[in-house]
Amino acid sequence: MGGSIERKPIYKKKAMDPQKSNYLASRLSKGEKSRHRIIEATISSISKYGFEEASISIIAKIAKVNKGLIVHYFKSRDELVMEAINYVAILGAQVTETLIKNTEEAVDPIEKYLYATFEWMTNYPEHAHLIILLFPRASYDVKSRNRAQKLYQTSWDRIEKMLQDGIKKNRYRQGNHVQLARQIHMFLIGAIVTSSMDPEVLLPQYREHCLFAVRRLILI
């Protein structure tokens, strides 16, 4: 299959509001709302200033809370940072699943997954940027390394499983599904990098090239 991919809405509804996700209770208490606001402010701080420069003072200013409240909910800055990373990972998985279920035009499972991932990057640019910043941090921080490896492996395993199923059903051409999964996953890593640079112009262009390349790789 070839040609450029027409850009049009493919989802019945927008991505979930983080406040309404299953990660937190649908009805948050006052304390839970404060905790949630601190986590979101941490993500914004990391996205803007990086892991090392996102201080408690900056986070408190963005969250519009005093530093004492942050210390009340989180024993240390490291605990807060890891909570923010886990939040991004869990919410990202939930949003992606919702988007996959609500796609109207993409039929192929891998295309659905790619579309949903690109939509997540568009709707949650700060979350996507945090993921990119997580990888260099993983080179010196063990907890970040373990989380990054888990994120990487989860996505890779999912793509590999879809490829295996597609090959068995003669949907995809025969090939080394492990190598193909690695290639497709690297496309997504490149997309996250692109989203951090220019989500409005470069990311849609990259999406078209990515989908075209994946189709050439796997479709019969």
CATH code of residue 60: 1.10.10.60
Distance CA 87, CA 141 (A): 18
Condensed to tens digits (0 to 9), the pLDDT of residues 45-79 reads 999 999 999 999 999 999 999 999 999 999 999 99
Residue 22 in domain: no
**DSSP 8-state code for residue 11:** B
Residue 23 in domain: no
What's the pTM? 0.81
Condensed to tens digits (0 to 9), the pLDDT of residues 176-211 reads 888 899 899 999 999 988 888 877 888 888 989 999
Ranges of H-type helices in the chain: 30-49, 56-63, 67-73, 77-101, 109-123, 125-137, 142-168, 177-197, 202-218
Q: Domain containing 46: what range?
A: 28-74
Task: Specify whether 103 is located in the same domain as 171.
Answer: yes
Residue 25, pLDDT > 50, answer no
Domain count, the chain: 2
